[in-house]
Copies of this chain bind each other. A is one copy, B any other.
Amino acid sequence: MSKTLHIVGTGPGDLTYLPPLARQAIAESDGLVAYPLYIDLIQEQDPDLITGKQRHDLPLGEEIERARLALDLAAEGQTIALISSGDIGIFAMATLVFELLDRECNPRWVDIDVQVIPGISAMQTAASKLGAPLGHDFCAISLSDLLTPWPTIETRVRAAGMGDFVVSFYNPVSRKRDWQLAKARELLLEYRPAETPVILGRNLSRKDEKTEVTTLGALDTTQVDMLTVVVIGNSESRTLTHQQKTWVYTPRGYAKKLEG
């Protein structure tokens, strides 16, 4: 009996971003636990990778149920892959598995081998498509106040402003949360100029990929949805045009050397 739980991030969606380590973990699993879209994306591109495996699809909102099911199935002696897009360690399911292991002390779970396999997170894909905005100190903040009280989020956005961090916003908007990104934009405008470059990336690496470069002043938050990652430059981030395309980068301070 193997009792193995692989906790696997699959990156943005296109399987060319999926490292062999993650592919191998999926390949050797008996069952896959995920929000259905992530398995559908694999199915479309490489059906052989998941043929014969049992799918355990659970909808958005059932994150605790997904983590618990993955542990319970592994406890039965199966090899299970709990899958999310991006890096499953970043604003995703991995932490919830450890929280369950820690809080519930379920004796059936004690001998499960747990392995976390990182993936390319949304901010990294967005950054790479449009330059190198994460070239210097940055932070990542989830704007979802479903689990984190808004005052805590606001404190973090202000801290990011004070520290002049490049900021990636995850979960910027949802059907029920429509004002948080606008408020976060307003807060950051107290600390950095309206000309600060902003990157939007939506459905990155997928058919309907959309990327856009705008500025903090011009950012229209009503155009942003829950599938978008928003990366906001720091006060030194710059844009340039190369090959008819606008790119964004955050310099690390080589300018002095370049001028010297």
Contact yes or no, A89 B258, CB < 8 A = no
Given contacts A141-B137, A252-B148, are A94 and B162 in contact (CB under 8 A)? no
Which of these binds chain B: A9-17, A29-37, A172-180, A218-226? A9-17
Are B95 and A252 closer than 8 Å at their CB atoms? yes
Chain B residues, CB < 8 A from A142: 136-137, 252
CA distance A64 to B260 in the complex (A): 12
Interface residues of A in 86-135 (CB under 8 A from B): 87, 89-92, 94-104, 110-114, 116-121, 124-125, 127-129, 131-135
Query: B254 to A63, Cβ gap below 8 A?
Result: yes
Q: B147 near A252 (CB under 8 angstroms)? A: yes
Q: Is A52 an interface residue (CB 8 A)?
A: no
**Within the complex, what minimum Cβ distance (angstroms) separates A181 from chain B?**
15
Binds B, one of A72-80, A206-214, A243-251: A243-251
Q: Complex formed: what's the CA distance from A201 to B257 in Å?
A: 31
Q: Is the CB of A254 within 8 A of B19?
A: no
Between-chain CB contacts (< 8 Å), 7 pairs: A89-B128, A90-B124, A95-B132, A97-B132, A99-B255, A156-B165, A158-B163
Residue numbers of A with Cβ under 8 A of B are 11, 14-21, 24, 63-64, 87, 89-92, 94-104, 110-114, 116-121, 124-125, 127-129, 131-142, 147-148, 152, 155-156, 158-160, 162-165, 238, 240, 242-243, 247, 249-258
